[in-house]
Amino acid sequence: MTATTDGSTGAVGPRAPSGNGTTDTARPDPGGDLRVAAERATARSVEHLLGRQDAQGWWKGDLATNVTMDAEDLLLRQFLGLQDPRVTHAAGLFIRGEQRSDGTWATFYGGPPDLSATVEAYVALRLAGDRPDDPHMARAAQWVRDRGGIAASRVFTRVWLALFGWWKWDDLPELPPELVFLPKWFPLNIYDFGCWARQTIVPLTIVSAKRPVRPAPFPLDELHAAPTAGTAGPALAPVASWDGVFQRLDKALHLYHRVAPRRLRRGAMNAAARWIIERQENDGCWGGIQPPAVYSVMALHLLGYDLDHPIMRAGLESLDRFAVWREDGARMIEACQSPVWDTCLATIALADAGLSPDHPALVKAADWMIGEQIVRPGDWAVRRPGLTPGGWAFEFHNDNYPDIDDTAEVILALRRVGHPDPERLDAAIERGARWNLGMQSRNGAWGAFDADNTSPFPNRLPFCDFGEVIDPPSADVTAHVVEMLAYEGRAHHPVTRRGVEWLLAEQETFGGWFGRWGVNYVYGTGAVVPALTAAGLPPAHPAIRRAVSWLESVQNEDGGWGEDLRSYREEGWIGHGATTASQTAWALLALLAAGERESKSVERGIAWLAGTQREDGSWDEPYFTGTGFPWDFSINYHLYRQVFPLTALGRYVHGEPKALTALAGTRKAG
């Protein structure tokens, strides 16, 4: 059985379907000159990307996730009494437009229906005025009931429903604010959580302690499944198992909630509030991402902060900046915004496509990126207190949480620019490279935001069922750092060699590497192979040959590559899925780095990119190829479909970035 065009089946054969979901593309003439077609596609893509640059020098594409962002935005407004009919109507348009014919909502394009997303979307549409007996609502409610109702949804969904009395607080896992008092060496202290989870959990401890209930605007009886006779709830796991330990710990915390000393609890909530306020960014947001901002605003409001308080005003205004208003009047909420990431990737793409290093667009982008470098400590300094700051964040404003991946890619981008002030550029690069060096974890690899964020305990908490809550090292981030260090003349630095050794040990038996922040093994392999060759591994190295063989084996019949998000759960999907522009580019970047420029696989991949390009120089890509949490939270970066194909085409036409290679050979190892 093969996957359908939208990838909606549960099984896949040896080849996934071809095509990228578009109908306005034309295949290249098989007898035509491939190089000419590639050069034409490159030129059109360069023009398209240059036209999207902001006057300040940055690029940013929309970041699409799923309708829970939009639903929770409406629920927050309902909770705070800030309903806006225009916003509610526009959000309803978007959510309604994402509903599928069976009444459900998925968390990624073409994916399976998701219970929690469907519950939240249904409630949001009720807030928007849709009636339970409307056909589309009745289908959704029936589907929810058939899957166990609200009781079967994730913890976060039930937290939102508890705010309005649609669920009982007693039936939710406990999250005490006293967590903030745990020392940094103690298991389950807040720094054991990944930064995204930490920023969410600290305000949620206040919400959990306060257990607020606002008057419900309507009942939700239609979303509850009928109880099964004799059902006594899920049985506890054996006490000797970790699940059993944490289930019993949760029961103990529920008892503690009833007897917690008032002074201790009040002190804990005040300490949590101080922690939250200290981490508010200059633009009013928290961490540059929407969920922590939502829960921080809610938590501070529950502690008595008036909506007109400057902290609250700034927080609420920041939430409005996550809204994308569409031409049809619909309003979509971004989970976060990615200007630094998009800008460094666009700079790399344009430079590798042959744009002059001193082109005004590249110089302007470099100036903006240098201005975004973070030179003060953040939460990362808890594990690396003596390290000098120098990283870059993902977003416009996120000084508390620069990330290792962005920093590596920004440096790779800056090295491609012929800046009029080379000393300024060199100083920024050196500071960033040394920060990345210092953020290596003990095992020789790199995580995204913190070093050694590998505690096994946070994921065990019953509360944490919303995705990955720790930040262990990953192959894709490690590869980007290794590639950067190699091009900075540090290929033989002990830190770099440990990273290379870790990557070689992490290769899967079939030849690919796991992709933490992109889907999936195609992304991981597309990052690792260029890094290993930059670090000095020859194309004939067995690890490189295994990767090449695997990529060739999963190439789609149309010449491109695709991998469905279900590959995170089901082995049958690994390397398989509808062809996409970004994933085709990732595979090509690996093959080109491995010396396969003249191979039939590369030629077919380049032909697919050239043949599916739109007249305006862009590509279409409805499929989600990015991740926040593998499987649990998926992302469609709208600029991925532009920057990665251009990079691949540019390297096919012009070869590997020789300027960087030459630089790596002349700089001293250090």
> Which is catalytic among the residues 192, 399, 405, 476?
405
Rounded-to-integer distance, Cα 58 and Cα 282, Å: 19
- What 370-375 contacts at long range (C-beta under 8 Å, 24+ apart), as own/partner pairs, is 370/414, 370/424, 370/425, 370/428, 372/340, 373/428, 373/431, 373/432, 374/399, 374/402, 375/431
Distance, CA of 246 to chain centre: 28
Tell me whether residue 382 is exposed, middle or buried, using C-beta atoms within 10 angstroms of its C-beta: 0 to 12, 13 to 18, 19 or more. middle
Please state whether 253 falls in left (phi above 0), alpha (psi between -120 and 50) or beta. Answer: alpha
- The string of DSSP codes covering 90-130 is HHHHHHHHT--TTS--BSSTT--B-HHHHHHHHHHHHHTT-
Tell me whether residue 284 is exposed, middle or buried, using C-beta atoms within 10 angstroms of its C-beta: 0 to 12, 13 to 18, 19 or more. buried
Rounded-to-integer distance, Cα 430 and Cα 428, Å: 6
Structural contact between residues 124 and 92, judged by C-beta atoms closer than 8 angstroms: yes
For 196, the token pair is 């995204």
The radius of gyration of the chain's CA atoms, rounded to the nearest angstrom, is 25
Q: What is the DSSP letter of 353?
A: T
Rounded-to-integer distance, Cα 26 and Cα 31, Å: 14
Structural contact between residues 145 and 187, judged by C-beta atoms closer than 8 angstroms: no
The identity of residue 464, as a single letter, is: C
Rounded-to-integer distance, Cα 138 and Cα 153, Å: 18
Structural contact between residues 344 and 53, judged by C-beta atoms closer than 8 angstroms: no
Structural contact between residues 462 and 243, judged by C-beta atoms closer than 8 angstroms: no
Number of Cα atoms under 13 Å in the Cβ half of residue 205: 26
Which 3 state secondary structure label does DSSP give 286? Answer: strand
Q: How many CB atoms lie within 10 A of CB 36?
A: 11
The identity of residue 399, as a single letter, is: D
The identity of residue 575, as a single letter, is: G
With vertex at residue 317, the alpha carbon angle to CA 312 and CA 320, rounded to the nearest 5 degrees, is 135
The answer to whether 405 is a known catalytic residue is yes
Show Cβ contacts of residue 94 under 8 Å, excluding neighbours closer than 6 positions: 67, 70, 326, 330, 331, 332
Output the CA–CA distances (angstroms, integers) from residue 530 to 263, 346, 544, in the order listed.
57, 18, 10
With vertex at residue 466, the alpha carbon angle to CA 204 and CA 146, rounded to the nearest 5 degrees, is 115
For tokens 């300040």, what's the residue? 56
Identify which of 37, 5, 34 has the alpha carbon closest to the alpha carbon of residue 22.
5
Q: What's the chain's length in residues?
A: 670
Structural contact between residues 527 and 480, judged by C-beta atoms closer than 8 angstroms: yes
Give, rounded to a whole angstrom, the gap between the first and last alpha carbons of the chain: 54
What are the φ/ψ torsions at residue 323 (nearest 5 degrees)? -85, 135
Rounded-to-integer distance, Cα 372 and Cα 443, Å: 30
What are the φ/ψ torsions at residue 627 (nearest 5 degrees)? -135, 150
Residues that are catalytic = 405
